[in-house]
Amino acid sequence: MNILFIMTDDHTVAEMSCAGNAILQTPSFDRLAREGVRFTNAFCTNALCAPSRAAVLTGAFSHVNGIRGNSEVAGQVESLDPSVATFPQLLQFAGYQTALVGKYHIRQDPKGFDTWTIHPGQGEYFDPEFIHNGETIRKEGYATDITGDLALEFLEGRDSDRPFCLVYQFKAPHRPFTPAPRHANLFKDVTIPVPATYEDDYATRKIAGLAEDMKFHVSLERDYDDIPDGISESEKKDWIYQRFIKDRYRTLLGVDENIGRVLDYLDANDLTNDTLVIYTSDHGYFCGEHDWYDKRFMYDPAMRIPLLIRPPRGVADHVADEIVMNVDYAATILDYCDLETPDTVQGRSLKPILDGAPPANWRDTAYYHYYENSWELHGKGDEAMAEPYSYFTPHRVGPHRGIRTNHHKLIHYYSEDYWELFDLVDDPDELRNRFSDPATQPLVTDLQARLQEERERYGDVN
Ligand SMILES: [Ca+2]
């Protein structure tokens, strides 16, 4: 059994034609969906780059794997807890050939890979530097294509008598959303519709209303030096939206092509039937929803992630609506490889769902915890807490935890003891916080108990 684990940076579910996008055509994503399973309720557990990547590698939540945020904590860089194994380490130990190419974004050198070539930090789109097994090198060309080349080089050079695990991770479509020149002029004559919550007055969501640095066009304006002069603020926002979303689409076309190259290689080398392919993104993204860009908040545009899995011999075009989380991948990979899953793995194998037989006791709740820049995390005391909202940086998003079922979402901004409750059936855009509605009080009590249960289930109670 071989493993091809593919991940992008900040890709949303809506940006794939297999998920209904009529403007952006993504044949390789669609192929994985057609030959595998497309998950419609896949969620990350902490919508930020490094924490998501740590959860993916270990199958454990942030409080177990050691990486809660992207930033330094009390002057220290967070690192993966060395006592928590990653799936590449376990596969390498079992004799797999393991490789990592592209974006990594965990501050320490990768472990568990026979060979690795990664962008330093966020990396660059053109003629980027890479770190190859500890040595800095520079490659000419466009990052997405180079990452594809590196994946193919590894596959070409591998020992074909041993199984492989290739972790294939794109920088794209991360800001500054820079497409390959061959895609730069696509969609020129198209007007892409804005999301339903493009304007939002945050009337019932206090914390959301304070997240000033998440504001869409205010924050993205500095990325563009060719905004026409003399236009109104709303015209400027529309101009930025069209450029932003088109550049994301263009950038994603490069990803789609480079996924296609590797899928073609598997076909041409008789590997397709012996390779588990997982495609996902580190988290979702606000593409104008709630008048925001970026991620962090537990609202669906950031929490929901694209997830396509093609099992080794494929299944026919199946859509799965079970609630799954990014901590499930490690368990799934180890299951397919017939390797023991260590106790530190908190997710569950998705193999039964991929086999078309989800267990009767499959979970009905996703758990989420975003930490970045709480004073609690940064080791500061009550004195700092006395300054309202001063900890909401960067992006002024307060730390929060919560649960999501298919019907409800409960969020607790615990530094402020501020709660939100959404009925996702009546209010899928999460605009009407019903926490203080007297009619919901029995439901609030029930959901708060369920939140506590999930915290205890995953050991996140301190
Ligand atoms: Ca990211």
Q: Say yes or no: 38 and 118 in one domain.
A: yes
| CA 445 to ligand 1 centroid distance, Å | 34
Provide the pLDDT for residue 367. Answer: 98
pLDDT at 386: 40
State the pLDDT at residue 210.
83
Same domain for 328 and 416?
A: no
pLDDT for residue 302: 98
Provide the CA 82 distance to its chain's centre, in angstroms.
23
Q: Are residues 88 and 125 in the same domain?
A: yes
Distance of CA 446 from the midpoint of ligand 1 (Å): 33
Is residue 324, in this structure, part of any structural domain at all?
A: yes
In a domain, 274, yes or no: yes
Residues 9 and 107 in one domain: yes
Look at residue 147 and tell me if it is in a domain.
yes
pLDDT of residue 219: 86
Q: Which pLDDT does position 385 carry in this prediction?
A: 43
Distance 176 CA to ligand 1 centre (A): 12
Q: Within this chain, do residues 251 and 333 fall inside the same structural domain, yes or no?
A: yes
Specify the pTM: 0.96
Tell me how far the alpha carbon of residue 2 lies from the centroid of ligand 1, in angstroms: 26
* Ligand 1: centre distance to CA 283 (Å): 6
Q: State the distance from the centre of ligand 1 to the C-alpha of 421, rounded, in angstroms.
A: 26
- Ligand 1 centroid from CA 274, angstroms: 30
Give 394 Cα–ligand 1 centroid separation in angstroms.
15
List the CATH number of the domain containing 373: 3.30.1120
Residue 423 domain-assigned (yes or no): yes
**Distance (Å, whole) CA 34 – CA 197:** 31
Say if 194 falls within a structural domain.
Answer: no
| Cα 248 to ligand 1 centroid, rounded to whole Å | 13
Is residue 323, in this structure, part of any structural domain at all? yes
Find the 361 Cα to ligand 1 centroid distance in Å.
31
> What is the rounded CA–CA span in Å between residue 424 and residue 428?
4
Q: Do 276 and 172 lie in a common domain? A: yes
Q: What is the pLDDT of residue 393?
A: 54
Q: Is residue 188 part of a domain?
A: no
Residues of the chain with confidence (pLDDT) below 70:
73-75, 373-395
- How many domains, the chain? 2
Domain-ending residue, one of 311, 330, 354: 354
Q: Of 334, 354, 374, which residue sits at a domain end?
A: 354
Same domain for 129 and 32:
yes
Separation of 150 CA from ligand 1 center, angstroms?
A: 21
| Domain housing 286 | 2-181+241-354
Last residue of a domain, one of 354, 383, 407: 354
Residue 205 lies in a domain: no
**37 shares its domain with 94:** yes
343 plus 378 within the same structural domain: no
State whether 318 and 265 are in the same domain: yes
User: From the CA of 370, how far away is ligand 1's center (Å)?
Assistant: 14
Q: How far is the CA of 341 from the centre of ligand 1 (A)?
A: 27
Q: Within this chain, do residues 317 and 384 fall inside the same structural domain, yes or no?
A: no
Residues 119 and 175 occupy one common structural domain: yes
Per-residue pLDDT, 376: 45
* pLDDT score recorded for residue 218: 83
Give me the CATH number covering residue 324.
3.40.720.10
CB-count exposure of residue 226 (10 Å: 0-12, 13-18, 19+) = exposed
What's the pLDDT score for residue 394?
A: 57
Q: What is the pLDDT of residues 70-107, one digit of tens each?
A: 877 666 788 999 999 999 999 999 999 999 999 999 99
Q: How far apart are the CA of 33 and the centre of ligand 1, in A?
A: 22
